[in-house]
Amino acid sequence: MIFFYLAILSGGIFFAIKLLLPHFPKAPATSLPVSIPVVVPLEDTTGQVIEKLEMMLAEKNSNILRLQTELNIQQNQLRDFDKIRTILEEEVLRLREQNRMFRSELGLPTGQPKDNPVT
């Protein structure tokens, strides 16, 4: 029985090698440089990794703080801009009303039709 399974297995391997492999493109033959792995003690490697991670974390934290301060500055500038815009809009409305009042006192046309007053 084992002989039968070995025959089926060897037939499958033969089929794979002879019939399927020629259809796959062949990789160019290059000589790869042989390198000998350097054995580094585990303590040194983990210490270096921890140092690198701490440096990356410190850099990211400084970037976050810088961005936070920039955001706060921009928000303050936007608030100031909105205050100035509100003051100027109120002043424009006050001056328009004053202009209408002076024109009506002098009997001059206001430049606006009676049915569509300026708001």
Residue 90 banded pLDDT, cuts 50, 70, 90:
very high
Backbone angles phi, psi at 101, to 5 degrees: -65, -45
In a domain, 97, yes or no: yes
Number of alpha carbons in the 13 Å side-chain half-sphere of residue 34: 0
Q: What is the number of residues in the chain?
A: 119
pLDDT tens digits, 46-87 = 888 888 999 999 999 999 999 999 999 999 999 999 999 999
Mean pLDDT of the chain: 77
In a domain, 50, yes or no: yes
Range of the domain at 102: 43-106
Whole-angstrom distance, CA of residue 105 vs CA of residue 119 = 19
What percentage of the chain carries pLDDT values higher than 90? 41
pLDDT at 106: 87
pLDDT at 76: 93
In a domain, 21, yes or no: no
In a domain, 23, yes or no: no
In a domain, 25, yes or no: no
119: pLDDT strictly greater than 60: no
In a domain, 94, yes or no: yes
For the chain, the C-alpha Rg in angstroms (whole number) is 42
Q: Residue 24: what residue type? A: F
- Predicted TM-score (pTM) of this structure: 0.45
Better pLDDT: 118 or 76: 76
In a domain, 83, yes or no: yes
Tokens 């301060």 belong to: 69
pLDDT at 108: 79
In a domain, 76, yes or no: yes
Q: How many domains does the chain have?
A: 1
Whole-angstrom distance, CA of residue 29 vs CA of residue 53 = 40
